[in-house]
């Protein structure tokens, strides 16, 4: 775990993670897995998104992917080297790969993902020396609330599925 970049603070991390959590709640409200992401560039929010895989019928519509694409379009460039991505769940290999490809400076995430985490849990694409770009990672910001949103969502799905089988 590393700290904020110069000019950022732990308080700012909490504020931006709060925005990502708002996105996660919006995802859950429409039946999507409650994961949210925010991209911040030079202290300004340039993108916000939440999972839309079910809505869009798109396996690539993870919150991070949508937010990174939105940030690149808004900033009119693919290199996001002065940006920080805030996301409620540790990124999967696809999303960590997109962070590598977009050259982000920093990632801040909430809950770890024991099944697909690719920035420290199962893999670490953020600091693999074989790759041509590395980015700093701060974990655990908003972890408890991020975990609770996911646990409640999946408990609801299991309860619904159990009710349908009767």
Tell me which residues are annotated as active site.
64
* H or E stretch covering 86: strand 83-89
* H or E stretch covering 145: helix 143-165
Contact 142, 18 (CB under 8 A): yes
Instruction: Report the distance separating Cα 134 and Cα 57, nearest Å.
Output: 31
Contact 89, 98 (CB under 8 A): no
Q: What angle do CA 83, 86, 88 make, to 5 degrees?
A: 165
């Amino acid at each position: 775990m590393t700290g904020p970049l110069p000019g950022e603070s732990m308080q700012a991390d909490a504020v931006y993670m709060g925005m990502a959590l708002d996105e996660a709640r919006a995802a859950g409200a429409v039946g999507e897995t409650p994961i949210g992401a925010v991209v911040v560039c030079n202290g300004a929010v340039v993108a916000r998104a939440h999972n839309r895989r079910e809505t869009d019928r798109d396996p690539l519509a993870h919150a991070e992917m949508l937010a990174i694409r939105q940030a690149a379009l808004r900033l009119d460039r693919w290199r996001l080297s002065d940006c920080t991505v805030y996301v409620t769940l540790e990124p999967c290999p696809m999303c960590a790969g997109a962070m590598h490809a977009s050259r982000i400076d920093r990632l801040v995430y909430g809950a770890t993902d024991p099944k697909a985490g690719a920035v420290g849990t199962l893999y670490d694409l953020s600091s693999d020396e074989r790759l041509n770009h590395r980015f700093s990672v701060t974990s655990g910001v908003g972890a408890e609330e991020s975990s609770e949103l996911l646990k409640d969502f999946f408990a609801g799905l299991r309860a619904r599925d159990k009710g349908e089988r009767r």
